[in-house]
A and B are shown apart, each in its own frame.
Chain A
């Protein structure tokens, strides 16, 4: 699980122009082929998210932090790993943002930064023997390098 979730304090977000309109957002836009700034925080992605109650940050909060360039907060969140890519948020976003794809890219970024979240060795062997292949393939592809 995410580091820093144990922190007892929630420090101020330190904002400056480098951060809020910096490389992180641009790279996310480019990899996901989405326009993050299109989000106007209606909250619909959170409302319909079946996994929201297991997330430390609601999907809409993830989107907001991403808009503010808060890469650390987002990449260290539990939310990006809890997302099941069910596309509910994507089909209901009033601005047409493929939020699931944004989540996919955030996972990729976190993995690239060495937060290897989930490896084949972590699978319960009974699970590995039973879960249909699409599940295994998806899990490895999305959650491990």
Chain B
């Protein structure tokens, strides 16, 4: 079985475990192993700009350097925040001589002890951006292939009307991330179509959900999410599909506040793309983490299972 180095990040180990778990199971069915790094730290999330310019590079570059030293060329991640942070840091050391020198000078002097990696200053090799950072969706598209997925899926999710939601950090900024067009992305649509689902077009798929404002101004996030949800629901979506833990939280859990602030907003289940993949790959329903949702995804799951029964492949 092919293995690929995998960086989970903090959220996926706890609050967003239902993003990771189906991914691991589905990967296995698709013939590859998401091999979690032996040791990893925070990716740095969204560090503020600073005078010395390298604060925001230290965490992600240390992770990427360890990956390179272990002999891996590709690192897969699932969380959009981690993806953005790792990929932008990688882009920065690849394109800025100054930042590359600075962050390597710092890391050389401040190496963590790892018994499986060289840790003396003499052994230190400058990290030059060698590792390719890939979002799991990107890996599925470019390495596994959506065609292949369409061939290997056990269940065709036909009849499911799903609204892709991209959010912000998975795509932006385009010149540093380069995963897909920022104005007209298609990766989630293409993925869902490969699984046999129908996709719903609506104008809010790249409009922000409020991100961290959920902490400071929850009402702002609620307003933004109500726009997204109403629009998707109005176009007849059975569920919205996301890949970011924060998008999931804002769109799912905020529906409580949305129903208070914007009465009449239709409730709609939110699914991680990995959960949708999990259903298509016939993973055990109990492994998909549907119990972690605020809005019960039962009707969607039912619809998927219904089509499964109709398809008669089980």
Q: Do chains A and B touch in the complex (CB under 8 A)?
A: yes
Binding site for B on A (CB under 8 A): 31-33, 50-51, 54, 81-82, 84-88, 90-91, 98, 101, 104-105, 107-108, 117-118, 122-124, 127-128, 130-139, 141-143
CB distance from B214 to the nearest CB of A (A): 6
On chain B, the residues within 8 Å of A139 by CB distance are: 212-213, 215-216
B211: nearest chain-A partner, CB-CB: A84
On chain B, the residues within 8 Å of A88 by CB distance are: 168, 172, 206-208
On chain A, the residues within 8 Å of B245 by CB distance are: 132-135
Take A85-B46, A141-B47 as given contacts and tell me if A133 and B182 are in contact as well, using a CB distance cutoff of 8 Å.
Answer: no
Question: Does the CB pair A91–B249 fall under 8 Å?
Answer: no
CB distance from A24 to the nearest CB of B (A): 16
CA distance A91 to B180 in the complex (A): 13
Question: Does the CB pair B172–A90 fall under 8 Å?
Answer: yes
Question: Does the CB pair A50–B174 fall under 8 Å?
Answer: no
On chain B, the residues within 8 Å of A131 by CB distance are: 15, 214-215, 246, 249
Given pairs A86-B172, A135-B214, 16 additional interface contacts (CB within 8 A): A82-B220, A85-B46, A87-B169, A87-B172, A88-B208, A91-B174, A101-B49, A104-B49, A131-B214, A132-B11, A134-B212, A135-B212, A136-B212, A139-B213, A139-B215, A141-B48
Q: Is the interface of B mostly helix, strand, loop or mixed?
A: loop
Question: Does the CB pair B168–A136 fall under 8 Å?
Answer: no
Question: Does the CB pair A134–B11 fall under 8 Å?
Answer: yes
Chain B residues bordering chain A, tally (CB within 8 A): 44
On chain A, the residues within 8 Å of B246 by CB distance are: 131-132, 134-135
A123: nearest chain-B partner, CB-CB: B215
B182: nearest chain-A partner, CB-CB: A91
Q: Does chain A have a CB within 8 A of B269?
A: no
Binding site for A on B (CB under 8 A): 9-11, 14-16, 42, 45-51, 79, 81-82, 167-169, 172-174, 182, 206-208, 210-218, 220, 223-224, 245-246, 248-249, 253
CA distance A57 to B119 in the complex (A): 50
On chain A, the residues within 8 Å of B14 by CB distance are: 133
Question: Does the CB pair B213–A134 fall under 8 Å?
Answer: no
On chain B, the residues within 8 Å of A105 by CB distance are: 49
CA distance A81 to B217 in the complex (A): 9
Question: Does the CB pair A132–B207 fall under 8 Å?
Answer: no
